[in-house]
Chain A
Amino acid sequence: MALAPCITDLEQLKDHPVLAALLAWNSNTVESAKFDRDEMSIYIRREFIREAVNQLKSQGLVNFLSDLTCADFYPREPRFELAYQLLSHKRKEFVRLKVKLSGDDATVESLTSLWPTANFFEREIFDLFGVRFLGHPYLRRIMMPEDWEGHPLRKDYPVEGYR
């Protein structure tokens, strides 16, 4: 039951093709990175996310957006962490890009122009977490009714709901 320790040192990780490409493109993009349980996570600064993904896509390092979701770390700030699971069919590898968002300014650029599949995933995050995606063509609630108040998956929203 021994877990290998998590590697967070950029120097040790810089040989990873995705991280290397991002650093070569613009080293300001990468906030930090970690390699934990055989999975690579790269924290990207919020303002670069769309361009960074666009770079990786055009260089052929990833070609498929598998999943896009969010986690709420309330009461810590920045409270939201978006997780983009990107897949490369060629390299047969997943890589996770992460973006931290603060509670009072939870906005990020939409990926719908790169992969139309981001549409539903971003609507889901908007609905359940209240994160806004700039440039999304149809940002409306998808799971909850239109007139619902609040965002149920936030940690300050009770499991039983408000009654």
Chain B
Amino acid sequence: MGHLNSTPVLDAAEDKTMILNMGPQHPSTHGVLRLLLEIDGEQVVRMVPDIGFLHTGIEKTCEAKFYQQVVTLTDRIDYLCPMVNNLCYVMAVEKLLGLEIPPRAQWMRVMLAELQRISSHLVWLGTHALDMGAMSVFLYCFREREDLLRIYEMVSGQRMMTSYFRIGGLALDPPIGFFDAVKKFVKIFPEKVDEYENLLTGNRIWIDRLKNVAHLSAEDAIGFGVTGPSLRASGVDWDLRRDMPYSGYENFKFKVPTSQDGDVWARYVCRIEELRQSREIAKQALEGLPEGPTKAEAPKVVLPDREKMKTEMEALIYHFKIVTEGFTVPAGEVYQAIESPRGEMGYYVVSDGTAKPMRVHMRSPSYASLQALAKMCEGRLIADVVAAIGSIDIVLGEIVR
């Protein structure tokens, strides 16, 4: 239990400063982040983040599982957008296998990934506003998130740990009523965003609290490996969905919101606009959804349909073999990067030709973004630390894995 030791310890550099320990159980650290702050009065002189409290060794566990079993572990990395993690992992393995995914499955993946982005951003908006003292926004956000969780439950039977995307396609065809539920959500959602903005965007207290706080320049953002909305808020126009399209994103039309300000306000504005754009993509995916199968034609990799399994001997054999001994993947290595709600989520998978991955590494966006926190906060007030943590939208589960 090394973390019960008070390590790492920070010693005050000067007589007039003192050390303040923030977290790991502080409500505004969004999980179990511990920050060691050296303060001079109300001003932060130095900040050292201490992480590792949630380390569960997922990367090591992956090496002991079959490729298809790892999918369920990826849910637990970033629990606010499990499907985006599923997508990144299955795309990496599909790339290793050289597997073609049917268009319908790709579009379904895009639709669900965008809905996940919305639900993840809703949690961010709710908690960020809560940290800043705006209680009621949280309740509004979780009302819409509840609708989305019901949609995920429809397709996968789970509200959070969905594991809906599988290597080679989707777990199941979406059930009856699913498309109506998505259609209804897509229809009402813009009104709801207006409602959140009505509460916050023009609010004098909100503006004063966010503007010119925790500034991050474009050079620093790139240097610290910040990605996603936080990078775009610093003026770098980069979005993997548009610039290096994957899973059929080239078929969708959407705007990538950017800002030149690089402060907490800019990050807020970019994410709010992303809510609208994600809804736009989900709507396009719903309207243009192609017909066809949702699983690739690869009997050795993809589990057969239940019906086939009960009527065809061959399908039963494949099912038995995949479940008991997995499938082998040709040796090689790939790095697959996608745009998660928090930025560049990347999976580096190395195969040695067996049925279990030799190495799975997750490049998590929050892990890199966290390093920029000290830069944002040093020289500012303690109260601004809370605003800065909220604005980079970290998930501790994916930071320490």
* Residue A143 at the chain B interface, CB threshold 8 Å: yes
Give complex CA distance A148, B52 in Å.
Answer: 12
Closest to B243 in A: A92
A83 in contact with B330 (CB, 8 Å): no
- Majority secondary structure of chain B interface residues (helix, strand, loop or mixed): mixed
B223 in contact with A94 (CB, 8 Å): no
Residue among B57, B244, B333 making CB contact with A83, cutoff 8 Å: B333
B371 in contact with A117 (CB, 8 Å): yes
* Residue B63 at the chain A interface, CB threshold 8 Å: yes
Closest to B238 in A: A89
| Given A140-B8, A142-B52, A145-B2: A67 touches B333 (CB 8 Å cut-off) | no
Give complex CA distance A99, B96 in Å.
Answer: 21
Residue among A37, A63, A96, A146 making CB contact with B7, cutoff 8 Å: A146
Give complex CA distance A92, B337 in Å.
Answer: 12
* Residue A9 at the chain B interface, CB threshold 8 Å: no
Question: Quick one: CB contact mask for B91-107 with A, threshold 8 Å, 1 for yes?
Answer: 00001111110000000
Residue among B64, B99, B332, B348 making CB contact with A1, cutoff 8 Å: B99
Residue among B60, B363, B368 making CB contact with A153, cutoff 8 Å: B60
Question: Quick one: CB contact mask for A142-163 with B, threshold 8 Å, 1 for yes?
Answer: 1111111000110000010000
B2 in contact with A148 (CB, 8 Å): yes
Closest to B96 in A: A37
Closest to B4 in A: A145
Give complex CA distance A1, B96 in Å.
Answer: 10
B400 in contact with A143 (CB, 8 Å): yes
Q: B7: which A residues are within 8 A, CB to CB?
A: 146
* Residue A24 at the chain B interface, CB threshold 8 Å: no
Q: A128: which B residues are within 8 A, CB to CB?
A: 59
* Residue A8 at the chain B interface, CB threshold 8 Å: no
* 8 Å CB interface, A107-136 against B: 115-117, 119-121, 128
* Residue A39 at the chain B interface, CB threshold 8 Å: yes
| Chain B interface size range | 35 or more
Q: B26: which A residues are within 8 A, CB to CB?
A: none
CB of B59 to closest CB in A, whole Å: 6
Closest to A152 in B: B60
Q: B367: which A residues are within 8 A, CB to CB?
A: 120-121
Q: B52: which A residues are within 8 A, CB to CB?
A: 141-145
* Residue B269 at the chain A interface, CB threshold 8 Å: no
| Given A37-B332, A41-B333: A1 touches B224 (CB 8 Å cut-off) | no
Closest to A39 in B: B334
* Residue A71 at the chain B interface, CB threshold 8 Å: yes
Q: B8: which A residues are within 8 A, CB to CB?
A: 140, 146
* Residue B132 at the chain A interface, CB threshold 8 Å: no
* Residue B350 at the chain A interface, CB threshold 8 Å: yes
Give complex CA distance A37, B400 in Å.
Answer: 29
* Residue B38 at the chain A interface, CB threshold 8 Å: no
Residue among B60, B97, B243, B335 making CB contact with A85, cutoff 8 Å: B335
B98 in contact with A36 (CB, 8 Å): no
B225 in contact with A66 (CB, 8 Å): yes
A67 in contact with B400 (CB, 8 Å): no
Closest to A161 in B: B57
* Residue B361 at the chain A interface, CB threshold 8 Å: yes
A3 in contact with B63 (CB, 8 Å): no
| Given A85-B335, A85-B348: A143 touches B98 (CB 8 Å cut-off) | no
Instruction: A37-B98, A67-B346, A146-B8 are known; give 15 further A-B pairs, CB within 8 A.
Output: A37-B95, A72-B359, A83-B333, A92-B243, A116-B224, A117-B368, A121-B367, A121-B368, A140-B8, A143-B51, A143-B52, A145-B1, A145-B3, A146-B7, A148-B2
The list of the 5 closest CB pairs from A to B, nearest first, reads A145-B2, A117-B225, A67-B363, A3-B98, A71-B359
Instruction: Give 21 CB contacts A-B under 8 Å.
Output: A3-B97, A37-B95, A37-B98, A37-B332, A41-B333, A66-B225, A66-B337, A66-B346, A67-B346, A73-B358, A83-B335, A85-B348, A93-B244, A115-B222, A116-B223, A116-B371, A117-B223, A117-B371, A144-B55, A145-B2, A159-B64
Binding site for B on A (CB under 8 A): 1-4, 6, 36-39, 41, 63-67, 69, 71-73, 83, 85, 89, 92-94, 96, 115-117, 119-121, 128, 140-148, 152-153, 159
